[in-house]
Structure 1
Amino acid sequence: MFYSFNLEDHIPQNHLLRGIDRCLDLSELRQQLADYYSHTGRPSIDPELMIRMLIIGYSYGIRSERRLCEEVHLNLAYRWFCRLGLEDVVPEHSTFSKNRHGRFRESGVFRWVFDEVVRRCIAAGLVKGEGFAVDASLVAANASHQHSVQVGEHCDWTDPEINTRAMREYLAALDDEAAAAPVTRKISLSDPQSRWTAATGGIAYFAYSTNYLIDTAHGVILDVEATPAHRTAEVESTKVMVDRVEERFDLKPERLIADTAYGSAPMLGWMVEEKSIEPHIPVWDKTERKDGTFQRDAFQWDDEANEYRCPVGKALRSEWRPFKTPRTHVTKADTIIYRSSERDCAACPMKADCCPNMTFRKITRSIHEAARDVARYITTTPEYQRSRCERKKVEMLFAHLKSILKLDRLRLHGLSGAGDEFTLAAAVQNMRRMAKLIAQGPPINGIGAPA
């Protein structure tokens, strides 16, 4: 029996995978993995085939590797995208686990694929580099609260039942600075690097945070970072992503957009003083008084005299007498406390409206207060209102990640596993965005041209 069947003719021209295929170039993949394959023995499964299958899985929310192999076996469009003929054999699902936790993770190939997609987005003119936005979203870890221990509870960490790859990574990372964050109430025995959190306002669960840094022009994800579900780790990941984008793509934004969680004094100081980036971020300020007394903005700062002036013109200083040994007066929280004179306050007719329960008034000033003032001024400009609208593009990407790509719960364990999943998902989101914006047209700067 002979038959004539052309797989190319049965894939619609407007199919999503056609658009992604035009934007995908894995010609250098084998070179990236050359050191992780043996040159002797039985030939290995083509790594490009496995990467293409994973792209299909993340594009259509097929999280199970066993089911992914079944779908590729049955679906003509999937076979076409994977360069498989009708009679070609689909790899076994167990192959993915071995390669993911082995050569793929060691070589950083998922990060390489993501960076290559970003470069093609830049070449296609989808990245302007003028404005970036950053945010984080919680994704549930593959861990149950029933398989966990309370902090301080005795646990045999050498038990073979919990001696998993995720546990070994956790124990190896305990001495790192990233692991110095405050401990949680519970530690998962199946995924100890995940964090017990109730930040969403509902029932607490183990989770990781996926952090996106996007270009506001077309919502292209420029970088992604996995962190434990902790606000400090999320904010600090912004510095890592901004520096990495500048190093790899030579892009540094004029403005960075984020919510109030990123408006801490150290973060604003880093942006303004070190990176010269405009912080389009609300200032995180907890100095507001609720007892009806004078707010902080009622006191005028004199930069030359290094002092505040109260509403009646009296001074608030960090020191009222000279010291033999000069002092910085900087506290452990990187602040300087300015105090008024008890004599001035005792005779002041406005004391009841300023400091009724204290003998003097004090103001805490951050060493990054100049950067905070820059952020406060930016919030009064029309450009800031435009930035507020553009920040929603990050939230839309998180909604797409969870509702369309079905990444509302992780399958892999450990921070490295979360990083692999988040990186692949972000790469797929960029591919879908690029396929939507440049599909149906001629190749742009070589994008979509035959290899």
Structure 2
Amino acid sequence: MMGPRQVEQGALFYEFSLDTHVPADHLLRAIDRFVDLSGLRAHLRPFYSTTGRPSVDPELMVRMLLVGYCFGIRSERRLCEEVHLNLAYRWFCRLGLDGAVPDHSTFSKNRHGRFRDSDLLREVFETTVQRCIEEGLVGGEGFAVDASLIRADANKQRSADASEAVDWNDLARIRRSVREYLDTLDEAAWGAASEVQPKFVSRSDPAAQWTGALKGHAFFAYATNYLIDLDHAVIVDVEASRAIRQAEVGAARTMIARAQDRFGLWPARLAADSAYGSAEQLAWLVHERGIEPHIPVFDKSERRDGTFSRSAFTYDPAADAYTCPAGHPLRPRQKVYRTPFPLVDDDGMMRYRASKRDCDACALKPRCCPTTPARKIPRSIHEGARQMARDICASEEGRTSRRERKKVEMLFAHLKRILKLDRLRLRGPNGARDEFHLAAAAQNLRKLAQLIPLQQLSPA
């Protein structure tokens, strides 16, 4: 039997509660327990005028931004539409049924002004890290670090060749991203990371790096750098940088030092790939921070032309000399000079040389140094830290760290596939920082919601 036609009937009074219409298992209900914005207004108060028209509630804007990054809503215009229509979003943003949703332009105005001046989004991210620490999700013993490339909002067709002269000061008068680029030329994570000029430079976002690192078509990109705790893959710190190895290594140092200063986290070990295995980086970890480097050594000493590699020579620390396969010594100096030359080169390498007399009479010379009078072996002044890293990587602990390091790669996959952050919407270094901070905060909040059910919430 067919039921009667549904006809809308007006009513004079309604009893409606948003709370009852948000499902108990909704993600926002689980996340809401961990969003603490109680100190937000005090943090922003110096950046607001004491007179004039009342502003849009900053807590409302931050909650809306968290909704957007948690659910992969990349457009702020679309975010305003979704919050206006979705009851769960309204409940999370404390809007009620008839609360007005701010215009999308309000976000841009605040982001380029007081949000960046006060470093608010960094504060929001660190609040999620502190909550993860309080809930026992951060062990603090083992960390991992890695970087991932995120496409920039820049087009090659509007870029300039490296040899082309561009008046950046003139462009800076009309483009905020160019002004930010000029401001970061001396920073280690940006302009000062490398003296090598990229093949192309974007006129709309010159801080973005032209890169072909993904072995496909080259593109403009930024690098998002994650420092995570290996216990539950909580993001302890995040940093934006140029998409080159030197900048990513510098960002790793910044994040490790900042985690120690902000949260008192002193990890015993750090897992990373070979991009972080330079001699200087390993020495910084071991000697300055006291961290075990579970990192493959960045080493190009192995030869592929059939001659002996450096590994065929044995080093004796007591004699400070190498021994070649034929049993002859290689020392830093084979002669006594009236004016001794420096033992260490500008690149931090010591050269151990064999005696020409030994090499001329050696039967293994064709397999050792067929094109030079005598064999030379370079040794880094940080070879102790390099050897420590080699020993760790060959141990069972090193193999375990290599498996655990994949957790940071899974976070990058989640960032791009679930949160839809495979291409930046904002331009300039500050725009990249804003997006990476919000995305990392959203990932930490989702981690808290996943690992701590409602009945296991720690008492306040």
Amino acid at match of 1:377: D
**Which residue in 1 is equivalent to 2:217?**
203
Match of 2:234 in 1: 220
Aligned to 1:15: 26
The amino acid of 2:114's aligned partner reads R
The equivalent residue for 1:78 is 89
Match in the other structure for 2:149: 138
Q: Which residue of 1 aligns with 2:162?
A: 151
Of stretches 119-128 and 319-328 in structure 1, the one that deviates more from structure 2 is 319-328
Q: Secondary structure at the match of 2:408?
A: helix
Shift of 1:359: 1.6
Q: Provide the residue aligned with 2:394 in structure 1.
A: 380
CA distance, structure 2, for counterparts of residue 160 and residue 301 of structure 1: 56
Distance 1:193 1:161, change over 3 A: closer
CA deviation string 1:263-286 (max 9, x = no partner): 111111111121111111111110
| Residues 57-136 of structure 1 mapped to structure 2, 5 A cutoff | 57-136=68-147
CA distances 1:372-394 after superposition (whole Å, capped 9, x unpaired): 10011111111111111101100
Q: Which amino acid aligns with 2:329?
A: A
Q: Return 59-68 or 266-275, whichever deviates more.
A: 266-275
Higher mean displacement: 3-12 or 316-325:
316-325
State the 1:162 CA deviation.
7.2
**In structure 2, the residue corresponding to 1:132 is in which secondary structure?**
strand
Greater mean deviation of Cα atoms: 282-291 or 208-217:
282-291
Structure 2 stretches of 5 or more lacking a match? 1-11
- 1:258 is matched with which residue: 266, 272, 275? 272
* Residue 364 (structure 1) aligned with residue 369 (structure 2): no
TM-score (norm 2): 0.94
Query: How many Å separate the matches in 1 of 2:35 and 2:253?
Result: 29
1:343 has 2:343 as partner: no
Q: Is the 8 A contact 2:331 2:352 kept in 1?
A: yes
1:29 aligns with 2:43: no
Q: Which residue number corresponds to residue 54 of structure 1?
A: 65
Deviations 1:207-266 (A, max 9, x none): 000000000000000000000111110111110000000000100111100011111111
1:208 maps to a residue whose letter is: Y
Q: 2:159 and 2:306 mapped to 1: Cα distance?
A: 47
Q: Confirm or deny: 8 A CA contact 1:21 1:81 kept in the other structure.
A: yes
Amino acid at match of 1:56: V
Contact 1:280 1:375 in 2 (8 A): yes
Equivalent position of 2:9 in the other structure:
none
1:407 and 2:421 are equivalent in the alignment: yes
What pairs with 1:253-402 in structure 2 (closer than 5 Å)?
Answer: 253-402=267-416
Deviations 1:84-112 (CA, angstroms, capped at 9, x unpaired): 11111000000000001110011001110
C-alpha distance in 1, partners of 2:168/2:456? 58
Tell me which of 253, 271, 277 is aligned to 1:239.
Answer: 253
Question: Which region of structure 1 is more displaced relative to structure 2, 309-318 or 9-18?
Answer: 309-318
Change (3 A) 1:134 1:176: closer
Alpha-carbon distance in 1 for matches of 2:216, 2:49: 50
Q: Is the 8 A contact 1:162 1:189 kept in 2?
A: no
TM-aligned CA deviation for residue 312 of structure 1: 2.5
Q: How far is the alpha carbon of 1:324 from its aligned partner?
A: 4.4
- Contact persistence 2:172–2:179 (CA under 8 A): no
Kept in 1, the 8 Å contact 2:302–2:311? The answer is: no
Give the 3-state SS of the residue equivalent to 2:304 in structure 1. Answer: coil
Distance in 1 (alpha carbons) for counterparts of 2:173 and 2:209: 17
Following TM superposition, by how much is the alpha carbon of 1:306 offset from its aligned partner in structure 2, in angstroms?
Answer: 1.6
CA contact (8 A) 1:142 1:411 kept: yes
RMSD: 1.4
| Alpha-carbon distance in 2 for matches of 1:74, 1:50 | 16
Q: Does 1:5 align with 2:16?
A: yes
Partner letter of residue 413 of structure 2?
Answer: A
- Partner Cα distance (1:42, 1:373) in 2: 64
Q: How much does 1:348 deviate?
A: 1.4
Displacement of 1:161 in angstroms is 9.1
The answer to whether the 8 A contact 1:195-1:208 is kept is: yes
* Corresponding residue of 1:449: none
Counterpart of 1:424?
A: 438
Q: Distance in 2 between matches of 1:441 and 1:325?
A: 76
Give the one of 149, 153, 175 matched to 1:164.
175
How many angstroms apart in 1 are the aligned matches of 2:34 and 2:290? 34
Instruction: Find the aligned partners of 2:208 and 2:142 in 1 and give their Cα distance.
Output: 31
Q: How much does 1:352 deviate?
A: 2.2
> How high is the sequence identity, in percent, across the aligned residues?
58
Amino acid at match of 2:351: I
- Deviation readout 1:270-318 (Å, 9 max, x if unpaired): 1112111111111111010112222212211111222111123211111
* Residue type at the aligned position of 2:430: S
What is the number of residues matched between the two proteins? Answer: 446
Q: Does the CA-based 8 Å contact 1:162-1:190 persist in structure 2?
A: no
Letter of the aligned partner of 1:179 in structure 2?
G
Match of 1:441, SS state, is helix
* Structure of greater relative contact order (alpha carbons < 8 Å, 6+ residues apart): 1
SS at match of 2:415: helix
What SS does structure 2 have at the residue aligned with 1:213?
strand
Q: Where in structure 1 do 4 or more consecutive aligned residues deviate above 6 Å?
A: none
Matched residue SS, 1:33: helix
- In the other structure, the counterpart of 1:186 is 200
Q: Is the 8 A contact 1:124 1:445 kept in 2?
A: no
TM-superposed deviation, 1:326 = 5.0
State the shift of 1:124 in Å. Answer: 0.2
Q: What TM-score, normalized to structure 1?
A: 0.96
CA distance in 2, matches of 1:328, 1:335: 11
- The whole-number CA distance in structure 2 between the counterparts of 1:223 and 1:341 is 51
Question: Over residues 344-377 of structure 1, what are the superposed CA-to-partner deviations in whole Å (9 max), with x where a residue is unaligned?
Answer: 1111122222222222111111111111100111
